[in-house]
Structure 1
């Protein structure tokens, strides 16, 4: 890579131009509809997350130190300043491993885009529903592209990609919501990018893993607000050879592909590559759980019949979820494949009810998790980021039967996307934990008919308890 000046930023500027120039009419109808479903899912996850312990700690702590009461904390009666509301609401979306994921880009997108953008609507009322949807799409498009640029080695190196990449999605959505021009959007991305942070060691039981998305959304919001005021950022935040995002995060000059940042921009829509979760655990585990589901549908068996389960997966799968299970709290259990397999084998599900403090320390589940082996398959790793969740699963039963399944994409993924009815059902189930039934229905109608809203601030009002 040649040494670059601060003005050499074709990719950062190309993305900024896309964001600032995006209009409702430029977005295909199928992308608009998909984005509404994705937003509905993220908001349902946030409402479920509102009363979780880690969310309550943030809510209460920030309420004590922040006297501003501008923006809603979703699913509660509380209000905070815009940046702190983004921090809490993003944490709530990611609060129980239920939210969306762009598998190839390795990013939970709604958790970083919507908290920042909805805060913008509350700070500056008057944004129409069409403008809100356009801004959301801008955010949903940008972060995954940075993930595609960085490739699977980014998370394999120990960076929590949802936190590091998310700042760009958050900044893009907020910048479009504020109607920043291309120059100021470049600065918004440059301010956000230098705040990127997040370590994968957080997956081993730490509450802070939940906060990564919220912090990322907050950083993106700061980027857009500061840029609007004339504050400047790194112009070539993605391209810079020394100290740029790509070179620094990869510790290389060749382990990333800048062309992915703008390839097909405005023609290939990354929104359509975002998957939804129907298991309450990290997305990397879903293909394996689907494989076991298919096997049990073919031939019924109980957990007592299982001798061992062998999962062959990518290097990312092994490092991300394949470690031997030890009870270290809910976060650790949700990010651990052996535990999730054990839970599914016992209960035939792996949703919210399978993750309690008692269950994750259950000796029966721990013993069953020891029967799971997660093995690196170099051939799967060689397929690249888009197939990083592919698995070959072998189920060995005590009677000598060996069942095998290969799954490339999980249920709810971009290749097997869920129906509108399935997504709405999931939303209603989650949202009803924080809101009355009538409000849940009203919020659903508002999101699915968002183009009709004269002022998108109605969303924050409906999200408040």
Structure 2
């Protein structure tokens, strides 16, 4: 079914994008998505919960948590992993910041869908006693809406300074929460419309605490929008496609396909094709292919820093735009630095949470290698949902004059095209979760999430730390 409406001001026929996508979300049932979509949702949910637990002790999360008061409401949700009861909207906020603060969460659709969808779905699902299949269905609904809107915009939001996670993510989380709350088509459309006015986030804040706030506020916005719509709060039912609406206002190209685009949500399952890309490194995803290449050269040639004269990285122009910190001074800044990523890979032989500390970033040997990194860019863009070059390439000129070159890397390990095995995903999850939980509890939680479609209620998830309190766990980190 396809709706159109007549805008007499412009004398054009525009697609009824808001109503049509809302109809899809409202009618979506657990049995509808293909298995590939459900598998991708399970991967995104599982990985995000692990990263959320690891991020909970970070300073940014502590600050936001301190501003969120405990709740005595029966329809609240837990702060993870402390278990402190918060309102559902505050739980989405705090857990959303935790999910994104390490920049270790998965990537898709040029953003971070799980970091906003999972905290919102957990909060609403917990308050309603929703099942594991309900959670998966809501994830698919939110992702598919985001993917449909992205398909109608030929430009890249990053290039205009917008963070897609906070822009597209706002309407996606509203849709997911509307699905969890079983809103009808019209109220779902109102939830999407409300959230469309709450969408905001700037690339200029990458490398600061505010980037993780984008995720928290986006998850919170989804909860608020769905609850407002349920109570009769209204928005414009053509908000996505209107000439002064969401798609045109945020359009980097200035030409969103709101008149002649294809609305095939529910027929073309984009989650099955695009999936989620799990991060192996806690840095901006724009660095990952180059890190894979650099680690390959280090391992193959047994490289030591003193042998290296210059490191050359060829990457995409939009990737480099995200990587704004060529000379980082903190761990947060280093997450958005190609130069640091190359230095860490060479010096430590890995790029992990330990390397993203202020102390490591400020080491003299790290600074020396950072100064030896040279980046060049291309305007070519690969097919798919990432605004990246077709491949990244790394070469090293040794002090002897010899040049070592790695084969171009098109897909990072952990991507939907080069996925992690169940065991590899579990290793990452346990590395994250055992920063707070003991290994047995972390393993139980991983197994629960991996088998999420068998879960009778989200409240069965072992999300609260047993043993040390949250504050004690934070100090231990």
Please give the TM-score of this superposition, normalised by the length of structure 1: 0.91
Cα 1:256/1:280, change in 2 over 3 Å: farther
Compared CA separation, residues 160 and 452, structure 1 to 2 (3 A): same
Name the SS for the 2:314 alignment partner: strand
Q: 1:62 aligns with which of 62, 68, 74?
A: 68
Show CA shifts across 1:247-286 (max 9, x none).
Answer: 1112664156777773463433325521000011010000
Structure 2 residue 39 is matched with structure 1 residue 38: no
1:46-445 pair list within 5 angstroms: 46-63=52-69, 70-102=76-108, 105-125=109-129, 127-151=130-154, 153-203=156-206, 205-242=207-244, 244-250=245-251, 253-254=254-255, 262-263=263-264, 265-270=266-271, 272-273=273-274, 274-321=276-323, 323-327=325-329, 329-378=330-379, 380-381=380-381, 386=386, 388-389=388-389, 390-404=391-405, 405-445=407-447
Q: Which residue of 2 aligns with 1:454?
A: 456
CA spacing shift, 1:140–1:250, aligned 2, 3 Å? closer
Alpha-carbon distance, 1:231 to partner: 1.0
More displaced, 1-10 or 275-284? 1-10
Conservation of the 8 A alpha-carbon contact between 2:61 and 2:94: yes
CA distance, structure 1, for counterparts of residue 401 and residue 258 of structure 2: 47
Q: Using a 3 Å threshold, how does the CA distance of structure 1 residues 60 and 147 change in structure 2: closer, same or farther?
A: same
Distance in 1, matches of 2:262 and 2:110, equals 14
The whole-number CA distance in structure 2 between the counterparts of 1:433 and 1:333 is 22
1:10 and 2:41 aligned: no
Q: How far, CA to CA, are the matches of 1:147 and 1:332 in structure 2? A: 28
Separation (CA, whole Å) in 2 of partners of 1:25 and 1:31: 11
Q: Structure 1 residues 212-221 or 157-166, which shifts more?
A: 157-166
**Structure 1 residues 5 and 35: CA distance shift in structure 2, 3 A:** farther
Superposed CA RMSD:
2.5
Conserved 8 A contact 1:100-1:276: yes
Deviation at 1:403, TM superposition (A): 2.5
Distance across 2 between alignment mates of 1:382 and 1:449: 34
Q: Indicate conservation of the 8 Å contact 1:50/1:434, yes or no.
A: no
Post-superposition offset of 1:384? 7.4
Q: Count matched residues.
A: 456
TM-score by length of 2: 0.89
Secondary structure of the residue that 2:250 maps to in structure 1? helix
The Cα offsets for residues 138-182 of structure 1, whole Å up to 9 and x where unpaired, read as: 123222333343455311111122111111221121111011122
User: Is 1:151–1:385's contact at 8 Å kept on the other side of the alignment?
Assistant: no
Where does the alignment leave 5 or more consecutive residues of structure 1 unmatched? none
SS state at 1:312 partner? strand
Higher relative contact order (CA 8 A, sep 6+): 1
| Residue 49 of structure 1, CA deviation | 0.6
CA displacement at 1:20 relative to structure 2: 1.4
* Secondary structure in structure 2 of the residue aligned to 1:316: helix
CA contact (8 A) 2:17 2:263 kept: yes
Residue 222 of structure 1: CA displacement? 1.2
Equivalent position SS for 2:376: strand
